[in-house]
Amino acid sequence: MNGLICGHELEYKCMFLNPIIALSSLISTMEYKLGLITLLALAFQQCLGQPFTNQTFFSNTCSKIKSSRNYSKRYCGWRLPSIILKGNSNNLQARTTVGEIGSVCGGMLSSEFGEISYKENKNYANDENCSWVIEVPGSARIGFNLLSSGFEECCDFVTIASIDSDGVLQQPTFKLTNGTVDGPRAIVTFSSDRSERGTGFRLLFHKLAESGKRDSCGGSITGSRGVINYRPEEEYTNNLRCVWVLHSPNSTSIAFNILRSNFESCCDVILVNSVDPDTGTLRNDSTKITGENSTATVEASLVVILFYSDHSRMGTGFSLSYESSGNEVNPNIQLSHESGENVTVEYSQHAHLLVLASSTDEPRDEKSTTALGLQHGAFDATDSCEYDSLAVYTPFRNGWSTEFAFPNDTCDATLPEDRILNLPHSFVVIYKPLERTGNNFALAYSQKVYACGGVLEPLESGEIVYKENQRYFDLENCTWRVQVPHAAKISFSLENSGFEECCDFVTVNAINATRALQGPSFKLTSKNRTAEVSGSTALVTFSSDRSVVGTGFRLRYRKDECGGELKPLERGFDDIVYKENDRYGNDLHCEWRILVPNATTILFNLENNGFEPTHDFINVTSPHSGVSVKLTSESTNRPFSVVGPTALVTFFSDGSVTGTGFRLRYLKTTVF
């Protein structure tokens, strides 16, 4: 049965092809020569007018692809390796073109990105029926774009449909201009009738993100051809700054083409800027790509692509194809795209330069920034004023602005003292060493609560996290203002720290309404981790000296339960509960201030207590009358009242034996 092939089961009979049998005996002793494969492909077409597909090479097994209830085709089960093209992980792509194996009518392609070119500039024949089976590994959806076509549109057409692993159609076929099918497999069919003929077509296919999953806002890409997808079928958000860094080795230019887009043309834009690998700078040569200006070519092999959306009307995203040309050998470039709460990027010692990008794809506080600094490393220099260079850029709608450049134009190699830049969350950093050996350099940044100081949101509890498990720099001086509403005292606890304890430290001070320091200053270290300050506002300071540096810290704070200004009681009743059924500490002096608007008197009842009988007690005082009532362990369930709308409740414990806390109920009343 060697050489048995199958045609259309309704119109053709299985037959032996003697030329194919002869060729099959040569295949085992020869490499797959281009001419041989072309001849084999032509033999298929001439004898059957039908395409070939995947199965084992020279197998006589035929697989069914069912297109409807009453129409079934058998495709010859012979795999031709020349059209099963796979790329590497950085540049998965496949392509069938005239230049590679002729105008092949059908085949199979397996790739994340690829192209079918069939008689693009040649006349096709009548009654052609060519099918290509496409598999996009790991894809839940496949996007298609008909880049060019010259066929008779009334009667000749390209259709696509999703198929399962057995070749069974999973959804109806539809005529194609641009479209999407469920992945990971699809069948593309070109059909012509018996009337007027035209020229063929070129079709692009590419992997799309699974429905419901968001495409990555930004990334790093090394490759010569591909498609960048960012939410082409769904609405994006405002204030996006998505950055892709693209390097195309062995090329001199990169061509871009928007395959699909519907973003706001007036205000949202794709910008492409080239990078000069010799100087390590981002060129000020922004090329704008929009829905109306959908193609562009950039004369460079290393580019930065920015998708910028403003705060007004939104649209749907885009699919942007890129293809490089030229054969110039490029240096080794290290690309990195990292967006996160806590990031460190090490320079690879053998790269010509490092290009690092970060993106913004979610709403953030406008005052929120990313703290970027040198993690470790030093800049090399020569006597001729040549230095390792470092440049930091941030985006705006028409391009990029330089936030920092080292060395500067005056050849001053002095870095800022703290070596920290507070940037927007989207930026590009380019580091270029003088030599590619011996360099030890890293950048660290965080988008969390690593800002060096600030005014914190008023909360009853919170934390300050500054470079926890990350190295800080010498001569840092960061100050945070902590506000805990209605707190009589604020408790602090140093949960984690790695700073140099002889010389670097966290201090806590209470401040008054004029922000002047008051009371003692508390220095927190690994041996003294807690502090308590009076009042509702405090100042936290982290300082480092010029010597050894360490890692940062995590400091928690909370409203102390012992005392405070209670919310005004409008109606009903409320309770002061302090360590009820739990043991309290020694030497306590806790004050609660009570306000009951429009009350003539306030009624109190000590519902529960476990005081040490002789020395621990509560005083309830009326500021209006000056009368004070003392409550001891014997005062439970003995209601009393004080005159006026305010009261001061004070709990005292001495330095001896302790007990458990209490529940004191109070309510507004005018009749007793």
Q: What gap in Å lies between CA 112 and CA 208, rounded to an integer?
A: 9
Q: What is the pLDDT of residue 315?
A: 82
Are 53 and 156 found together in one domain?
yes
Are 438 and 469 found together in one domain?
no
Q: What is the pLDDT of residue 419?
A: 54
Number of CB atoms found within 10 A of residue 483's CB: 15
What ranges make up the beta strands (E) of 433-476? 442-446, 454-455, 461-471
> pLDDT tens-digit profile of 615-625?
899 999 999 88
Checking if the pLDDT of 554 tops 50, the result is yes
Kindly report which listed range (69-73, 238-242, 403-407, 511-515) carries the lowest average pLDDT score: 69-73
Q: What is the pLDDT of residue 375?
A: 62
Q: What are the residues whose beta carbons fall under 8 Å from the beta carbon of 302, sequence distance 6 or more?
A: 245, 246, 247, 248, 274, 275, 277, 330, 333, 355
User: Are the C-beta atoms of 611 and 659 separated by less than 8 Å?
Assistant: yes
Are 193 and 152 found together in one domain?
yes
Checking if the pLDDT of 86 tops 60, the result is no
Are 499 and 594 found together in one domain?
no
Q: Please report whether residue 430 resides in a domain.
A: yes
User: Are the C-beta atoms of 168 and 154 separated by less than 8 Å?
Assistant: no
Q: Please report whether residue 222 resides in a domain.
A: no
Grade residue 450 by pLDDT with cuts at 50, 70 and 90: low
Q: Please report whether residue 256 resides in a domain.
A: no
* Full 3-state SS string of 485-522: CCCCEEEEEEEEEECCCCCCEEEEEEECCCCCEEEEEE
Checking if the pLDDT of 422 tops 70, the result is no
Checking if the pLDDT of 74 tops 60, the result is no
What ranges make up the beta strands (E) of 263-346? 269-276, 281-282, 287-289, 295-298, 302-308, 316-325, 333-337, 343-346
Are 499 and 637 found together in one domain?
no
Checking if the pLDDT of 483 tops 50, the result is yes
Q: Please report whether residue 344 resides in a domain.
A: yes
- Greater pLDDT, 88 or 402: 402
- Collapsed DSSP state (helix, strand, coil) of residue 78: coil
Q: Please report whether residue 526 resides in a domain.
A: yes
Are 25 and 94 found together in one domain?
yes
Residue 380 phi/psi, 5-degree rounding, is: -80, 155
For 482, 584, 586, 592, the CA distances from 561, given in Å and listed in that order, are 17, 11, 15, 10
Are 20 and 162 found together in one domain?
yes
Q: What gap in Å lies between CA 233 and CA 262, rounded to an integer?
A: 9
Q: Please report whether residue 270 resides in a domain.
A: no
Are 470 and 600 found together in one domain?
no
Token pair for 653: 């414990």
Are 555 and 407 found together in one domain?
no
Grade residue 408 by pLDDT with cuts at 50, 70 and 90: low
What ranges make up the beta strands (E) of 505-572? 505-511, 517-524, 530-534, 537-543, 551-559, 564-565
Are 139 and 92 found together in one domain?
yes
End residue of a domain, out of 429, 446, 463:
446
Checking if the pLDDT of 672 tops 50, the result is no
Kindly report which listed range (31-40, 169-178, 206-215, 549-558) carries the lowest average pLDDT score: 31-40
Q: Give residue 9's domain range.
A: 4-208
Number of CB atoms found within 10 A of residue 659's CB: 17
Q: What is the pLDDT of residue 23?
A: 35
End residue of a domain, out of 208, 225, 249:
208
Q: What gap in Å lies between CA 239 and CA 217, rounded to an integer?
A: 12
Are 501 and 372 found together in one domain?
no
Grade residue 174 by pLDDT with cuts at 50, 70 and 90: low
End residue of a domain, out of 537, 559, 581:
559
- Collapsed DSSP state (helix, strand, coil) of residue 544: coil
242-264 burial code (b ≥16 CB/10 A, e <16) = bbbbbbbbebebbebbbbbbebb
Q: Please report whether residue 229 resides in a domain.
A: no
Kindly report which listed range (28-42, 110-124, 430-444, 603-617) carries the lowest average pLDDT score: 28-42
Number of CB atoms found within 10 A of residue 170's CB: 12
Q: Please report whether residue 36 resides in a domain.
A: yes
Q: Please give the mean pLDDT across all residues of the chain.
A: 75
Token pair for 397: 């709608």
Tell me how many domains the chain contains.
Answer: 4
Kindly report the pTM of this predicted structure.
Answer: 0.49
Q: What is the pLDDT of residue 379?
A: 67
As a whole number, mean pLDDT of residues 144-168 equals 81
Number of CB atoms found within 10 A of residue 408's CB: 10
Checking if the pLDDT of 8 tops 70, the result is no
Helix or strand (DSSP H, E) at 566: none
Q: Is the peptide bond before 184 cis (omega within 30 degrees of 0)?
A: yes
Query: What CATH number does residue 356 fall under?
Result: 2.60.120.290
Query: What percent of the chain shows pLDDT beyond 90?
Result: 19
- Greater pLDDT, 361 or 464: 464
* Full 3-state SS string of 584-608: CCCCCEEEEEEECCCCCEEEEEEEE
Q: Is the peptide bond before 277 cis (omega within 30 degrees of 0)?
A: no
Q: Which of 658, 640, 637 is nearest to 649 (CA)?
A: 640
For 386, 574, 598, 667, the CA distances from 570, given in Å and listed in that order, are 72, 10, 9, 10
Are 555 and 568 found together in one domain?
no
Q: What is the pLDDT of residue 413?
A: 53
Which residue in the block uniquely carries the two structure tokens 């002869």?
Answer: 22
Residue 633 phi/psi, 5-degree rounding, is: -65, -15
Kindly report which listed range (19-23, 217-221, 419-423, 607-611) carries the lowest average pLDDT score: 19-23
Q: What is the pLDDT of residue 602?
A: 93
Q: What is the pLDDT of residue 95?
A: 38
Length of the chain, in residues = 672
Q: Which of 335, 223, 320 is nearest to 277 (CA)?
A: 335
